Amino acid sequence: MRWTWFHRLASPPYLYALAARLTPWFAWPAALLILGGLYAGLVLAPPDYQQGEGFRIIYVHVPSAWMSLMVYVTMGVAAAVGLIWRMKVAHAVAASCAPIGASFTVAALVTGSLWGKPMWGTYWVWDPRLTSELILLFLYLGFMGLRAGFDDTQRADRSAALLAIVGMVNVPIIHYSVIWWNSLHQGPSVMRLGKPTMPPAMLVPLLVLLLGFTLFFAAVLLVRVRAEILQRERAARWIGETLRA
C-alpha cells in the first residue's frame, strides 16, 4: 500500500526513533547555512543605497517573519490531520510547533520594531501588516493557553486544534495585508510574482538564511516532538524498553 508510510508515522515508538535519527540531518545543515548566511548578509553584502548598513536587519527580520507563518501552517495542518484521522502524534506535532512559532513571531515583531524606528520614524504603528502579525502572536499564545487549560490531553488536543484551524485565515491576511490595503510596511521583495527586487549579492544571503531558518525549525521541532511523545506515552511499556536499551 502506498499509505503505509503515513500509518507508520502515526505510531509513537516509530516516530520517536525516526525523529532521533533525522535530527542531525537538519541541525547541522541549519547551523552551517545560518552561520554562512549571516556572514554573507552582515559582512559580504553591499549596503543599501537608502538605508545604508541599517538594512541588514532584513537578514534576521524576514526569515523570522517567514518562519512565523510557516510554523503556523505546519501547526494548522498537523492539528487538522490530528482531528480528522484521530492521530495522536499529529496533535503532538501541533503542540510542539506553538512555542517555536511564538518565538519566531516575537523575533519578527522586535526586529521589525527596531528597524522601524530609524527608517520609518516610529517603533510601532497600527498598520494592517503589524497588527495582523501581532494577532498571530496572540493566536500562538491562545493555542498554548488553551492546551494548558485542560487536564485531559485528548480534550486539550481537540479544542486547541479547532483554534489552530480557525486561526489559519490570518496567514493569507498577513501576507497580503501590504497589497490589499494602504500600509506603512513596504510590499514583498522576495515572495512575490515576478523578479525579486534586490540584486543577487543581497538576495542570495537572504535565501540561504530562509533555508537555514527552515531547517533549524525542523530540527527543533523533531527534538520537541520527541519530548512531547515521551510525556504523553510515559505510561506505555515501549518507553521503558526504549530508554533501558
Partner 1 sequence: MTPRQRRLGLVIGIVVGVSIAGTLALSAFRQNVTFFFDPSQVAGGQVPVGERFRLGGMVTKGTVQRAPGSLEVRFVVTDFAHDVPVSYSGVLPDLFREGAGVVAQGHLRADGTFVADEVLAKHDEKYMPPAVAKSLKIRHGEARSDPGS
Cβ proximity to partner 1: between 39 and 180 the closer is 180
For partner 1, which is the closer residue by CB, 18 or 135? 135
Say how many C-beta atoms besides its own lie within 10 A of residue 14's C-beta: 14
d(CA 218, CA 25): 10
Supply the minimum distance, in Å, between the C-beta of residue 177 and partner 1: 8
Q: Pick the closer one to partner 1 by CB: 186 or 231.
A: 186
- Name the minimum Å distance from CB 42 to partner 1: 15
Q: At what angle do helices 88-119 and 58-85 cross, to 10 degrees?
A: 160
- Phi then psi dihedrals of residue 28, to 5 deg: -70, -50
Minimum distance from CB of 66 to partner 1 (Å)?
Answer: 15
CB of 197 to partner 1, least distance (A): 5
Q: Would you tell me which residues interact with partner 1 (CB under 8 A)?
A: 46-51, 55, 58, 80, 83-86, 118-122, 125-128, 162, 165-166, 168-169, 173, 181-184, 186-189, 192, 197-199, 201-202
Q: Which residues of 158-169 are buried (b: 16+ CB within 10 A; e: fewer)?
A: bebbebbbebbe
Q: Closer CB to partner 1, residue 17 or residue 204? A: 204
Residue 187 burial (CB count, 10 A)? 10
